Chain A
């Protein structure tokens, strides 16, 4: 239930904006004739957020705004833009909020850095622990050695 609630809110929102709610998003009339170009359009669409939905890409959303964006992406591709140029164009119009994968920059350093830093710290800690475990324990002092001998002799 909790799993669904937010998505339902999103769906309700989308339903209000794009009546009636249909499954899937890309309409047959949007599909490009060139399959290679269409494939690029689809993979780019999957990385762009439907701005009026919650956590849905424009590839999944049937909101009007998502449709407009899909058409823009396809028009840019037909005009010969590279993938990067298309993304830059969309970002220049709608801001970075539209990217489902935030860019590498200082503002997002914590986001991208966490996995790497944690892996390094954790791995380092484990290595140090292993090294400590590997070092032979300190030799017995003369007194301890004598005590040990005493015990051994008593037992035998």
Chain B
């Protein structure tokens, strides 16, 4: 059976080669049968990859330790859920998931692309096939999940304990759906360059794909952040770790692409820029794959000692990014420039959005790669960490976030900034009020906290203002406004929701960064401590035996100031027996939108235990905001205009000429 999976994987590689060549030739010589071959190859390739993936999953579920990959990353005592998710909890398996999603998107284009021009679809599928072929080859040559062990060991080495979490079930698939989803935009951009033609229909096709990838990537990043928050035990939600940056860069560029594609669709301006962004966004996804999969992040030297995988991905990266950019440089000028617009207009606002998002992307890019580059070139070692990004990325976001509420209120072509400002007067008043209240009434609040929270409120109220204005509130009666609101296209709600979510996330981030409190104390059983208006009592440590770990559970009682027990908090230290690896399981109590986060440290000699307690005000808004952003994106995606995919046939406007 395992050989069947291996065979299916080889077959998928061959099918990818077919998909990469036949439709391309077909589109070139105008042969409909060759072009149609791309569809069948895409569907069959997806089927073969799915079979290979299913076989690997089955090997994990059955604990087939004759597979090297299963032996290294699984254990017969592991809970069933982690046997499933363990399939992609390792290098080989996660690369297989990567190509599964890639071929899945290719199959979607083959299935739903019927209303695309035949040559465009053929070219898109061909580019998808090229990417697929490269990565199938990578898997088969350097990272084969189907490598055998003989004789098969009795027991496996277990999955890394930190990965034994539901987070592994959700985070990597979402992240990959986002990463790889941008490959469709890339393929469309390359196809447009090959054909030398690009129009509003192209943009209308690319937008839903961008939106879909963006929704998944948003979810993947948010889920990763939440996972790190509760699993790693010190309550951080973002570390500016190179691995996080690797997923954040495509998100930033993808967000820019999402906005520039709107301009292209509505006003057929920014065509060349949109093509470039499509290429760059997926290039950053490929870069992320390289950074994480090559080992280059651990150290330049780790990369040098075992360079096979790294060099292979670097070659893929160079060929695709270099090839795409060369094609862009050669063909982009052939694309006709689009409509003109005044600087103060919806287009202008979206250009501003793109300017800041691109600069932010470049900042993260440089911050992530500069230490590697410097070490490789000069041997000097420097560190670029959170303080650098806070000092550069932070200031770049401020003007962008201030500008966000203006964008949707400006008209296309020529907008009126003053009129937009007048409409935003309520949002501004609200933001000002919050800033003053925070500055005056919260003791620990800094200027940063006051202004930051004001900015968050500005975004939230700005998004609501957008909806109110579109409904005509203030111009028409309340009942009429409600009717108009209900009649708004879903995309309008999508925009407002996404901006609202951004505001909520901003509020959460600023609030935790500036108002969080921390207590580091030694507690003995029976002792209490005051935290943020609550009282926390330590009730002692209880040993506990889990499925594949032992743990000491620290039990705490959270009490209101009148002594009533509100809830119990359990925070534990685990030891995973197979790998003899300890982990911490934080105890978290949610109060409203805020959380109390309790983490257990070492026992002390006098019978106590070190306890770290954080009060994280409004921390849940970080992820609630992300979910709202995703909801906004999904609502936009469900808008009929985008779902239909192709432009409605242009109504030929026949203006009667008055006879004199």
Contact = CB atoms under 8 A, between A and B. Distances in A.
Nearest to B244: A3
B520 A26 contact: yes
A101 B175 contact: no
A80 interface: no
B384 A111 contact: yes
B222 to A, nearest CB: 11
B547 interface: no
Contact of B391 (A1, A24, A101): A101
B370 A24 contact: no
Contact of A22 (B175, B343, B380, B601): B601
Residue of B359, B362, B383, B520 with most chain A CB atoms under a 10 A cut-off: B383
A31 interface: yes
Interface string A85-110: 00000000001111111100001101
Nearest to B173: A1
A117 to B, nearest CB: 9
State which size class the interface on A falls in: 35 or more
State which size class the interface on B falls in: 35 or more
Interface string A19-34: 1111111111001000
Contacts of A126: 343, 351-352, 355
Interface stretch (A5-13, A71-79, A139-147): A5-13
Given A1-B89, A3-B171, A6-B292, A97 B381 contact: yes
B599 interface: yes
A154 B289 CA distance: 64
Nearest to B344: A130
A84 interface: no
Interface string B513-529: 00000001110000000
A60 interface: yes
User: Helix, strand, loop or mixed for chain A's interface?
Assistant: helix
Contact of B342 (A6, A9, A22, A130): A130
Given A99-B382, A133-B342, A8 B359 contact: no
Interface stretch (B59-67, B122-130, B502-510, B580-588): B580-588
A119 to B, nearest CB: 5
B141 interface: no
A1 B341 contact: no
B366 A111 contact: yes
B419 interface: no
A52 interface: no
A111 B293 CA distance: 24
Interface stretch (B150-158, B203-211, B234-242, B467-475): B234-242
Contact of B163 (A4, A47, A98): A4
A21 B259 CA distance: 44
Contact of B243 (A2, A49, A111, A114): A2
Contact of A96 (B160, B340, B382): B382
Nearest to B340: A133
A123 B355 contact: yes
A151 interface: no
Contact of B370 (A49, A97, A110): A110
Contact of A2 (B233, B246, B355): B246
Contact of A55 (B239, B343, B382): B239
Residue of B88, B162, B288 with most chain A CB atoms under a 10 A cut-off: B162
Nearest to A27: B610
B292 A122 contact: no
B374 interface: yes
Contact of A15 (B163, B297, B340, B582): B582
Contact of B236 (A5, A9, A60, A97): A60
B521 A28 contact: yes
A5 B246 CA distance: 12
Given A101-B388, A115-B362, A55 B242 contact: yes
B383 A49 contact: yes
Contacts of B374: 107
Nearest to B395: A115
B54 interface: no
B242 A2 contact: no
B520 A114 contact: no
Contact of A23 (B90, B352, B581, B612): B612
Contact of A24 (B89, B171, B520): B520
B410 to A, nearest CB: 14
B234 A23 contact: yes
Contacts of A49: 383, 385
A97 B374 CA distance: 12
Interface in B380-434: 380-388, 391-392, 396
A111 B370 contact: yes
B530 to A, nearest CB: 15
B358 A122 contact: yes
Contacts of B243: 2-7
Contact of A7 (B241, B383, B601): B241
29 contacts: A1-B88, A1-B90, A1-B172, A2-B247, A2-B288, A2-B292, A3-B224, A3-B228, A4-B162, A4-B243, A6-B298, A9-B298, A12-B581, A15-B582, A22-B573, A23-B232, A23-B233, A23-B584, A24-B520, A28-B522, A55-B241, A55-B383, A60-B234, A100-B387, A102-B383, A115-B359, A115-B396, A123-B355, A130-B348
Given A3-B175, A47-B385, 16 more contacts: A2-B94, A2-B288, A5-B292, A9-B298, A15-B581, A21-B581, A22-B233, A24-B233, A27-B610, A28-B520, A31-B520, A60-B234, A102-B388, A118-B359, A119-B359, A134-B342
The 3 residue pairs across chains A and B that have the minimum distance between CB atoms: A23-B233, A100-B385, A101-B387
